[in-house]
Amino acid sequence: MIQPLNSDFQNWIEQHLPPAHRPQGALTLTPLAGDAGFRRYFRVDCAPSLIAVNAPPAQENNLAFVQIANSFVDGMIRVPKIHAVDFARGFMLLEDLGRRVLQPLLDLDSLPAHYGAAETVLLEIQQLAADRRIYPLYDAATLDREMRLFEQWFVTELLGIELSASEKSLLGDVFQHLIESAEEQPQVVVHRDYHSRNLMLLDDGELGIIDFQDAVLGPMTYDLVSLLKDCYVRWPAQLMARRALDFKRRAEALGTLGASSDGDFLRWFDWMGLQRHIKVMGVFARLALRDNKRDYLLDLPRVIDYSLEAASRYPQLRPFGDWFRAALLPQLSAQPWFSGSAGEPGSSSPAMDA
């Protein structure tokens, strides 16, 4: 849907439109499907087109976006060029990286090339300078706070289950295992949402990276598991485990990872995935209930599958899986969005408009 720009935003865009970008008649924009935040994105009808962003400064850290973008550019990571920014009002004009989101381009034939490129870029991100002025620490308190969203929004608000003291203790023990595993790992720059909806295939064949404004210094397997255990598309677990170990060997050759066994690395990878997916269950439930973004519920069966598969592999995590099946699956079966399974590997949910 094409709509006129509101006057304040329109005036700002017209004032800051780069000379090389000319409107095709009256300046209009097309709203784009956004991310999980409060940012709103629009494609500006000019040639070449631009992306206008309305990111309310009360909810979004636009300074962090600009600082991280500059850091990525310094590291030769392909992100949208920033043409103009108004920090007070939360307006930005960005380069348009195009419409080719990676997700719908993926199948088992194209996956090796596309994921190989994504893993190469990820290795480059992990070699960026660990500048604490730009990247906050992904510390134990943050990891725990993320998982507590699962208790509040997924268990209580979405499923209507009040946790007992013993259940809270069980979850606390599992959360602590996951935090300790995260802290054991080399700490590197972490994009924090590195998956097929935030990777763009550009005309020159490069990968462009978007939605990086929450980047932190954290565990090296976090972005890898976001990519290989993508919340929006699922691939055979054995194939992803092989890719994870190939990534390990590449990281060792670059010096970003010291000596560690394959078993330890896969444990880091699986346990980091469980931490992320516990968080995602809470985040997606909150998006559905608080923000009326109910399409996120359709991706929860895939996230639940990942979580239960990881928990079943390790004795320390098995109590979580056993409790989930006994306490939550009966309530989940009554949810209209819950099919009981995410479907066959390779199944995906529709990509966002880009």
Q: Is the pLDDT score of 1 beyond 90?
A: no
Mean pLDDT along residues 137-148: 98
Residues with Cβ < 8 Å from 327, sequence gap 6 or more?
Answer: 161, 167
Residue 6's pLDDT is 57
pLDDT band at residue 34 using 50, 70 and 90 as cut-offs: low
Distance separating alpha carbons of residues 298 and 343, to the nearest angstrom? 12
> CB–CB of 209/191 below 8 Å?
yes
Q: Which residue has the higher pLDDT, 259 or 325?
A: 325
| Digit-coded pLDDT (tens) for 268-284 | 999 999 999 999 999 99
Q: Is the pLDDT score of 152 beyond 80?
A: yes
Q: Which residue has the higher pLDDT, 124 or 37?
A: 124
Q: Is the pLDDT score of 345 beyond 70?
A: no
CA-CA-CA-CA torsion sign (264, 266, 269, 270): negative
Helix 237-254 and helix 111-126: axis angle, to 10°?
A: 40
Task: Classify strands 22-23 and 50-54 as parallel, antiparallel or unpaired.
Answer: unpaired
Distance separating alpha carbons of residues 169 and 175, to the nearest angstrom? 10
Mean pLDDT along residues 336-344: 72
- Domains of the chain, each with CATH number or no CATH: 3-95 (3.30.200.20), 118-332 (3.90.1200.10)
| Digit-coded pLDDT (tens) for 233-280 | 999 999 999 999 999 999 999 999 998 999 999 999 999 999 999 999
> CB–CB of 23/17 below 8 Å?
yes
pLDDT band at residue 350 using 50, 70 and 90 as cut-offs: low
Side-chain half-sphere exposure of 9, counting CA atoms within 13 A: 21
Q: What's the pTM?
A: 0.92
Residue 69's pLDDT is 97
Residue 221's pLDDT is 98
Q: Is the pLDDT score of 208 beyond 60?
A: yes
Residue 35's pLDDT is 63
Residue 28's pLDDT is 83
Tokens of 75: 């590291």
- Burial of residue 281 (CB within 10 Å: 0-12, 13-18, 19+) is buried
Distance separating alpha carbons of residues 297 and 274, to the nearest angstrom? 18
